Amino acid sequence: MVTITPVAEQKIRELMQDEKEAVGLRIYVRGGGCHGYQYGMSFESKMSDDDMVIEKGDVKVILDSQSAPLLNGAEVDYVDSLQGSGFAIKNPQAKTTCGCGSSFSA
Protein backbone atom coordinates (compact mmCIF):
# COMPACT_ATOMS: atom_id res chain seq x y z
CA MET A 1 0.00 0.00 0.00
CA VAL A 2 1.15 3.54 -0.76
CA THR A 3 0.56 6.32 1.77
CA ILE A 4 -0.37 9.83 0.63
CA THR A 5 0.38 12.57 3.17
CA PRO A 6 -2.26 15.25 3.80
CA VAL A 7 0.03 17.87 2.20
CA ALA A 8 0.42 15.75 -0.95
CA GLU A 9 -3.32 15.07 -1.01
CA GLN A 10 -4.06 18.80 -0.93
CA LYS A 11 -1.51 19.56 -3.67
CA ILE A 12 -2.91 16.82 -5.92
CA ARG A 13 -6.40 18.24 -5.36
CA GLU A 14 -5.17 21.74 -6.31
CA LEU A 15 -3.39 20.54 -9.45
CA MET A 16 -6.35 18.46 -10.58
CA GLN A 17 -8.54 21.56 -10.72
CA ASP A 18 -6.62 22.56 -13.86
CA GLU A 19 -6.88 19.05 -15.36
CA LYS A 20 -10.53 18.84 -16.42
CA GLU A 21 -10.27 15.36 -17.99
CA ALA A 22 -8.19 13.80 -15.21
CA VAL A 23 -9.63 11.06 -13.01
CA GLY A 24 -6.51 10.81 -10.87
CA LEU A 25 -2.75 11.07 -10.55
CA ARG A 26 -0.77 8.10 -11.84
CA ILE A 27 2.48 7.31 -10.03
CA TYR A 28 4.71 4.85 -11.82
CA VAL A 29 8.17 3.33 -11.92
CA ARG A 30 10.06 2.79 -15.16
CA GLY A 31 13.52 1.65 -16.08
CA GLY A 32 16.14 4.38 -16.30
CA GLY A 33 17.84 6.98 -14.18
CA CYS A 34 21.28 6.61 -12.67
CA HIS A 35 20.21 3.73 -10.37
CA GLY A 36 18.07 1.55 -12.64
CA TYR A 37 14.53 2.77 -11.88
CA GLN A 38 12.98 6.20 -11.87
CA TYR A 39 9.69 7.60 -10.65
CA GLY A 40 7.15 9.29 -12.85
CA MET A 41 3.80 11.02 -12.36
CA SER A 42 1.10 12.09 -14.76
CA PHE A 43 -2.57 12.94 -14.68
CA GLU A 44 -4.75 10.20 -16.17
CA SER A 45 -8.04 10.54 -17.99
CA LYS A 46 -8.77 6.78 -17.81
CA MET A 47 -7.75 3.72 -15.84
CA SER A 48 -6.84 0.19 -16.90
CA ASP A 49 -8.49 -2.93 -15.51
CA ASP A 50 -5.34 -3.99 -13.66
CA ASP A 51 -4.70 -0.58 -12.03
CA MET A 52 -4.67 -0.23 -8.26
CA VAL A 53 -6.45 2.88 -7.00
CA ILE A 54 -5.80 4.61 -3.68
CA GLU A 55 -8.52 7.04 -2.66
CA LYS A 56 -8.01 9.86 -0.17
CA GLY A 57 -11.26 11.77 -0.05
CA ASP A 58 -11.91 12.95 -3.61
CA VAL A 59 -8.27 12.36 -4.66
CA LYS A 60 -7.35 9.20 -6.57
CA VAL A 61 -3.80 7.94 -6.96
CA ILE A 62 -3.40 5.27 -9.65
CA LEU A 63 -0.68 2.60 -9.76
CA ASP A 64 -0.18 0.14 -12.61
CA SER A 65 0.32 -3.54 -11.81
CA GLN A 66 4.07 -3.45 -12.57
CA SER A 67 4.81 -0.34 -10.48
CA ALA A 68 2.71 -1.28 -7.46
CA PRO A 69 5.13 -3.90 -6.04
CA LEU A 70 8.07 -1.48 -6.40
CA LEU A 71 6.10 1.20 -4.54
CA ASN A 72 4.72 -1.03 -1.77
CA GLY A 73 5.11 0.77 1.56
CA ALA A 74 6.10 4.07 -0.08
CA GLU A 75 5.00 7.46 1.20
CA VAL A 76 4.18 10.27 -1.23
CA ASP A 77 4.67 13.74 0.21
CA TYR A 78 4.81 17.28 -1.16
CA VAL A 79 7.80 19.34 -0.07
CA ASP A 80 8.13 23.11 -0.37
CA SER A 81 11.59 24.29 0.65
CA LEU A 82 14.38 26.67 -0.31
CA GLN A 83 15.83 23.97 -2.57
CA GLY A 84 12.55 23.80 -4.51
CA SER A 85 9.13 22.28 -4.32
CA GLY A 86 7.66 19.06 -5.61
CA PHE A 87 6.46 15.60 -4.77
CA ALA A 88 8.86 13.40 -2.80
CA ILE A 89 8.63 9.62 -2.56
CA LYS A 90 10.04 7.82 0.46
CA ASN A 91 10.30 4.23 -0.67
CA PRO A 92 11.38 1.38 1.65
CA GLN A 93 11.84 -0.83 -1.45
CA ALA A 94 14.74 1.38 -2.61
CA LYS A 95 18.10 -0.04 -1.63
CA THR A 96 20.01 2.96 -3.00
CA THR A 97 18.87 6.32 -4.35
CA CYS A 98 20.48 9.08 -6.35
CA GLY A 99 21.20 12.55 -4.97
CA CYS A 100 18.15 14.11 -6.61
CA GLY A 101 15.81 11.40 -5.26
CA SER A 102 14.21 10.62 -8.61
CA SER A 103 15.88 7.27 -9.26
CA PHE A 104 16.58 4.18 -7.17
CA SER A 105 17.63 0.56 -7.25
CA ALA A 106 15.59 -2.24 -5.72
Judged on CB neighbours under 10 Å (0-12, 13-18, 19+), 68 is: buried
Residue 71 backbone phi and psi in degrees, to 5: -110, 5
With beta carbons less than 8 A apart as the criterion, state whether 39 and 58 touch. no
pLDDT in tens, the chain (106 residues): 899 999 999 999 999 999 989 999 999 998 765 657 788 999 999 999 999 999 988 899 999 999 999 999 999 999 988 778 899 899 887 766 655 555 455 5
Q: Which CATH architecture has domain 3-105?
A: Sandwich (2.60)
Ranges of H-type helices in 1-106: 6-16, 68-71
Cα end-to-end distance, the chain, whole Å = 17
Domain spans of the chain, in order of start? 3-105
